[in-house]
Structure 1
Amino acid sequence: MSQALAIAMPRAARRPVSAAKLFRFAAIVLLAALYLTPLLVVVLSSVKTPAELTDALSLPAGIHARNYVVAWERIGPALRNSVLITIPAVVLSVLVGAITAYPLSQSRFFGGRAIYFLLLAGMLIPHQIVQIPLFLIMRVLGLYNTIPGMWLVHVAYGIPFCTFFMRNFFTTVPRSMFEAAQIDGCGPAGYFFKILVPASLSGFATLAIIQSRSVWNDLFFALTLTSSPDTQPVPMALYSFLGGMEVDEGPIMAATVLSMLPMLIVFLAFQKAFTRGLLGGSGK
């Protein structure tokens, strides 16, 4: 009977698990636990009373919802401002970066490499160097302390990285597709919008997630170019929690959780596309 079961059992099921696989699995679980521990501490602290916050790793006796009420009152308008800043800035920077990357990836014209490296040079300029000139320019243009002004800044600083990312992604699309489209009478604009863009949706999703995280978490430009709660994004609202002499840790942790939720939802919704995009289009 035992011999018959052994014969009927699939070969893969009878194969013993190697020690190397067990070690890799244990290492992954350990790293995941280490990565999630700070997030778990923040979530637990966001529902604790002030007395319970003395022990960061302890479980709360109940849900102290007042922390979230106070946090929402403090950062609710800032969440709206961050949404109004992030969505247009990401859409414009990704669109302009893709349009700029298209000729750099498909054409072989004189000076193309020089233009490409000139755009990449924008990624190497520290933000602190242009802080004062940027402040003066935005004030002269009448865009200081305005949401459109934040769009303009994030688009200008996002174009070099978006161009770099999409140019490298577009080069993974076979050149034969472009040549076949030309034979069928498809022009450069038609090839870009009808063939290249649909073939690179995973790259666009990945770039949008990376760019949205950068814009959403930006504190430097928000601190430099905004001065009122009507335009300040979430990082400035979180920064304002530390302005007083006493720090209320519970509402701060609750506000941190609220500020993380939009980016967490976006990442989970586009996780598969994000992974495919990081692979550089190897699945095409």
Structure 2
Amino acid sequence: MSSALQQRQTVLTRTILVVFAIVFAAPLIVAAITSMKSPSELTRVLALPTEFYWQNYLVAFERMGRSFFNSIAITVPAVALSILIGAIAGYPLAYMRGSSGRLVYFLLLTGMLVPFQIVQIPLFFLIQRLGLYDTIAGMWLVHTAYAVPFCTFFMRNFFASVPRSMYEAALIDGCGPTRYFWKLLLPASTSGLAALAIIQSRSIWNDLLFAITLTSSDSARPVTVQISGFASSLQVEYGPLMAATLVSVLPVMAAYLMFQKAFVRGLLGGAGK
């Protein structure tokens, strides 16, 4: 293949990637522009603001209050607990052989098929009976329980991609199954754990259904509930809404940018471990 043809293919590939990047970034760009517009300029959607209207961000921070920190307090423990339980459950499933292992595996996977709406009402009464309604601990419990099937599925498949020879070599050296899990398998699975952590943190951080159902006061409401309050049946406060949305996506975006290489390796099943 000639160098001229290779250059044309490189230019074409990069052009396509730039176009896709612009398409995917367009909503975020429009939101950023809208968040800095005064109310009189909101009708001109694609026009740049004549001056930065920082009042939108002041209103957003005032209305969100402590909900931003509530979301952090809910997301971090729920992600850690769900990943820990999923890893512990996925470890034996990755090494089980025969029909019994497959049966247990598929029974766990059925939890991924249950929509939120089906469990919403019974879950409300259960959390209320446990005395965890409108508490951050109650949100931990719900998100952890609902995430365990997916975390188990993810970590089981990731552990199965780890060469079995490493497990056999550890047994020969006198390392038991429990010690092998904590000392060797988990450290070798950091890319998978990072990928799962990003997926789970995005899912839990963006949750609205459980947040509306199981919280009722500012002491436990996450940021998604407060953001939904900017849009009512009579009025939509576009400026503060866009400002609050941009602020709310920053933690998840920062986490992805920090761990993007591990995230990609984890989604590829640990390639390059």
Interval of TM-score (by shorter of Structure 1 and Structure 2): over 0.9
2:111 maps to: 122
Find the partner of 2:11 among 1, 7, 22.
22
Counterpart in the other structure of 1:246: 235
Give the TM-score normalised by the residue count of structure 1: 0.92
Does 2:177 align with 1:175?
Answer: no
Q: What is the one-letter code of the residue matched to 2:4?
A: P
Moved more, 27-36 or 168-177: 27-36
SS of match in other structure, 2:42: helix
C-alpha distance in 1, partners of 2:17/2:205? 29
AA partner of residue 228 (structure 2)? Y
Q: Which protein is bigger by CA-based radius of gyration? A: 1
List runs of 5+ in structure 1 lacking aligned partners: 1-11
Number of residues of Structure 1 aligned to a counterpart in Structure 2:
272
- For residues 24-43 of structure 1, what are the structure 2 equivalents within 5 Å? 24-43=13-32
The answer as to 2:185 corresponding to 1:196 is yes
* Equivalent residue number for residue 220 of structure 2: 231
- CA RMSD, Structure 1 to Structure 2 (Å): 1.5
Matched position secondary structure for 1:171: helix
Amino acid aligned to 2:226: A
Separation (CA, whole Å) in 1 of partners of 2:108 and 2:134 = 27
Give the 5 Å matches for 1:157-176: 157-176=146-165
Matches within 5 A, 1:27-176: 27-108=16-97, 111-176=100-165
- Once residues 228 and 236 of structure 2 are traced to their aligned partners in structure 1, the CA distance between those partners, rounded to angstroms, is 11
Tell me, in whole angstroms, the C-alpha distance in 1 between the residues paired with 2:237 and 2:161.
51
Q: Distance in 1 between matches of 2:3 and 2:179?
A: 53
- Match in the other structure for 1:9: none
Q: Tell me, yes or no, if structure 1 residue 270 matches structure 2 residue 268.
A: no
- Quote the offset at 1:110 in angstroms: 5.9
Please give the secondary structure, in 1, of the residue aligned with 2:270: coil
Task: Give the TM-score of the pair, scaled to structure 2.
Answer: 0.96
Kindly state the Cα deviation for residue 24 of structure 1 after the two structures are TM-superposed. Answer: 2.4
Shift of 1:17: 4.2
Partners of 1:248 and 1:127 in 2: CA distance: 28
Tell me how far apart the structure 2 counterparts of residues 259 and 190 of structure 1 sit (CA, whole Å): 40
Question: C-alpha deviations, 1:221-248, integer Å up to 9, x for none?
Answer: 0111111111111110111112363322
Deviation at 1:101, TM superposition (A): 0.2
Counterpart-to-counterpart distance in 1, 2:107 and 2:161: 22
Between 142-151 and 56-65, report the one with greater CA deviation: 56-65
